[in-house]
Chains A and B, each alone.
Chain A
Amino acid sequence: MVFVYDGSYEGLLSCIFTIFKDRITPIAINAEANHQFTLLDVATRITTNDEWAVRVLKGVDERTHSCASGLMYKIFLSELPLCEMLVYQLVLAIIQKGDGTVLENFANPHILKAAQIEKMIHREVHRMHAFVRFQKSRNGFFYAAIDPDFNVLPLIGEHFEKRYADQSWLIFDTRRHYGLYYDQDVMKFACADDPVFSINLLLLQDESFQDEKEKQYQALWENYFHAVNIRERNNTKLHLRHMPRRYWKYLTEKQGTYKR
């Protein structure tokens, strides 16, 4: 049977709850937006039920000393094809085994796949910790735009909250059109049609929007970046491996090179 959910994590967990409740073997679990109807498979639309979602998470965490729910969420955020089925297979493996030790068996193809995706997510989170570039606006806010490979914005907030506890900031995912906002007190998600957060790339480059010293610090940073390079040791392959071109568009130090 094919299951269809609304695209939210709670929606996916509601599907998984239904699958276990009704003892069904699913063929596929698809988000509504990605689902293509076929004549052969019967699709069941599952309405999101927060209580069911919580029960699934509680169920796996009780068996795994709270290891599994974080892993499952990361697999979901990868947005990779078949990630929903993998989340289901993890839950199934944990329930069948009855404890978390199954997560250490990398000879199990589902566990291995999950570990590989977790590693990719971890790398992307780490890249965002590194590559977010804030710029200061006239009203004292710090803005950054990102375009990560995976939907990692929900995973990076805590890091920036700890680090920039005394400044207000907004990190905006320009591909997925939502942002994370911190006002020195609480952190909130913000969506693109919220007028307070209607930032876009044009605005970010507008000098009347920027703090008067912003351009100076950007220039200082770009100059610093080039001054610390040792030309005798140039190694473009290594440079690109660490800093792939797709991230350059929001890197302050790469703007000169990027336009060249």
Chain B
Amino acid sequence: MSNILEKLRILSDAAKYDASCSSSGSKRANTTKGLGNAEGMGICHSYTEDGRCVSLLKILFTNHCIYDCAYCVSRRSNDVKRAAFTVEDVVDLTINFYRRNYIEGLFLSSGIFKNADYTMERLVRVARTLRTQHNFNGYIHVKAIPGASPELLHEAGLYADRLSVNIEIPSEASLQKVAPEKNYSDIITPMNYLRSEKEKYVDEKPHIKNTPLFLPAGQSTQLIVGASPENDRHILRLANSLYQKQKLKRVYYSGYVPIATDNRVPDLSAPPLVRENRIYQADWLLRFYGFSVDEIVDEKTPDLDLEIDPKLAYALRHPEKFPVDINRADYEMILRVPGIGVKSAKKIISSRRHQYLHIDHLQKIGVVLKRARYFICCPGLVVKPGNFQVENVRRAIIASDRAPAAAQMGLFG
């Protein structure tokens, strides 16, 4: 017991820098009266004190590693306590945590011991044991170890809901500097292989009665932000190409947490959390709001504005596209108004079929008027036309973001 407790402490501590926590998007239903069900939306069972969600039992199989990547706590040259689970340890923890409703499933990563295949084989064995011996239908996310053989990757794909290979550093030149044993080809090759295998299963589906599930939740990856000099435009273009070419479901961004006293990475006083947040917002604009990378960042402004969110920044750069007429404009354009999200935009579209929308309706629907008011026209809105000064709007919105909510209420109440 104390042994397993010690291992769990070491190997979860070492796994926590992986940002991925998603447990949604799979289609693995419990049809056999077994344990677990991964067909629905993901659930965050708990939240750590840093505010991040705990959805999966996220652990390394081992933190022994033959590599020496500067950004990683488990690098060979770092003096940390080492430990390794057995396959049975991981299976027992997963099953018992799952039965108590602590988790949605397992996230299994690992340091590299001996070589890629030796490590990958163990990760596959854990997934296989859970699926075949314990009839476990919960979510399993396994790291694909760069350089592992296609046979092992294929088998992993049959048991896991999601596989991921982390790119970590957003350009190959920078990667070579901080992780001399790694290269982009070892990372992109398994991604492309898994993509084409998944497509094969999807293509076969109409012709074969029982196609097995193959990576139903697809692939994801992670990029570390702030450990190397790439700008936001570079990062977003890379992410966009991963969504398009490798068909990734998610790209995670992890603000570099200065963990290493290693002169190959910058010595930051704090992780770049605001920048990380802005990049996530931009990623959302790419995936759900119909923006292209060049609309968010271009050659002139290659970095995201840290003071305001990228959607507002876009609107301020393009005053000619506004104001948007709430009662007439297309869904796509309504979605581009700062302060209107996907849900409000849909509600606006469905409600205006029944009646002409007034400013009060928008407020009740959930539109953030202190942002949206500068960019819309709608009956009841008191804004003098032609009074749109980009710099003033920018300043007014930043000020209202900082003002305490109570002071805001005073104006109307």
Tell me what chain A mostly uses at the interface: helix, strand, loop, or mixed: helix
Closest-CB distance, A49 to chain B (whole angstroms) = 34
Encoded as 1 (CB less than 8 Å from any B CB) or 0, chain A from 85 to 106 comes to 0000000000000000110111
Which of these binds chain B: A6-14, A59-67, A222-230?
Answer: A222-230
Residues 1-51 of B at the A interface (beta carbon under 8 Å)? 1, 4-5, 8-9, 12-13, 15-17, 29-30, 33-37, 40, 43-51
Contact between A221 and B357, CB atoms less than 8 A apart? no
Contact between A165 and B46, CB atoms less than 8 A apart? no
Interface presence of A219 (CB below 8 A): yes
Which chain A residues border B102 with CB–CB below 8 Å? 133, 221, 252-253
Which chain A residues border B93 with CB–CB below 8 Å? 220
Interface presence of B318 (CB below 8 A): no
The winner among A166, A213, A216, A241 for most chain B CB atoms within 10 A is A166
Which chain B residues border A227 with CB–CB below 8 Å? 8-9, 12-13, 16
Question: How many Å lie between the Cα of A234 and that of B47 in the bound state?
Answer: 11
Contact between B35 and A221, CB atoms less than 8 A apart? no
Q: Which of A233, A236, A241, A251 contacts B46 (CB 8 A)?
A: A251
Encoded as 1 (CB less than 8 Å from any A CB) or 0, chain B from 40 to 70 comes to 1001111111111110011000000000000
> A-B contact count, CB below 8 Å?
155
Interface presence of A126 (CB below 8 A): yes
Question: How many Å lie between the Cα of A231 and that of B35 in the bound state?
Answer: 34
Closest-CB distance, B55 to chain A (whole angstroms) = 9
Interface presence of B317 (CB below 8 A): no
Which chain A residues border B33 with CB–CB below 8 Å? 165-166, 184
Which of these binds chain A: B196-204, B298-306, B346-354?
Answer: B346-354
Interface presence of A131 (CB below 8 A): yes
Question: How many Å lie between the Cα of A86 and that of B100 in the bound state?
Answer: 38
Question: How many Å lie between the Cα of A217 and that of B92 in the bound state?
Answer: 10
Contact between A224 and B8, CB atoms less than 8 A apart? yes
Kindly state the interface size class of chain A when it binds its partner. Answer: 35 or more
Contact between A220 and B365, CB atoms less than 8 A apart? no
Closest-CB distance, A36 to chain B (whole angstroms) = 30
Interface size on B, residues (CB 8 A): 56
Which chain A residues border B149 with CB–CB below 8 Å? none
Give B138's nearest chain A residue, CB to CB. Answer: A163
Residues 180-213 of B at the A interface (beta carbon under 8 Å)? none
Which chain A residues border B347 with CB–CB below 8 Å? 106
Contact between B50 and A224, CB atoms less than 8 A apart? no
Question: How many Å lie between the Cα of A182 and that of B96 in the bound state?
Answer: 19
**Known interface pairs A130-B43, A221-B102, A223-B9; A166-B34 also in contact (CB < 8 Å):** yes
Interface presence of A144 (CB below 8 A): yes
Contact between A228 and B16, CB atoms less than 8 A apart? yes
Which chain A residues border B4 with CB–CB below 8 Å? 220
Interface presence of B237 (CB below 8 A): no
Interface presence of B408 (CB below 8 A): no
Question: How many Å lie between the Cα of A132 and that of B99 in the bound state?
Answer: 11
**Known interface pairs A106-B364, A227-B9; A134-B51 also in contact (CB < 8 Å):** no
In the complex, the 10 A-B pairs of residues with the closest C-beta atoms, listed nearest first: A238-B51, A105-B354, A235-B51, A233-B50, A229-B48, A242-B47, A104-B350, A228-B16, A227-B12, A107-B361
27 A-B pairs in the complex with CB atoms less than 8 angstroms apart: A104-B351, A106-B361, A107-B351, A130-B44, A130-B46, A132-B101, A136-B99, A142-B100, A144-B101, A159-B40, A163-B35, A163-B36, A163-B37, A221-B100, A225-B46, A225-B54, A227-B16, A228-B54, A229-B16, A230-B16, A230-B48, A232-B258, A232-B270, A233-B51, A234-B49, A238-B50, A253-B46
Given contacts A107-B364, A235-B51, 8 further A-B pairs with CB under 8 A are A101-B353, A101-B354, A108-B354, A142-B99, A217-B97, A231-B50, A242-B44, A252-B100
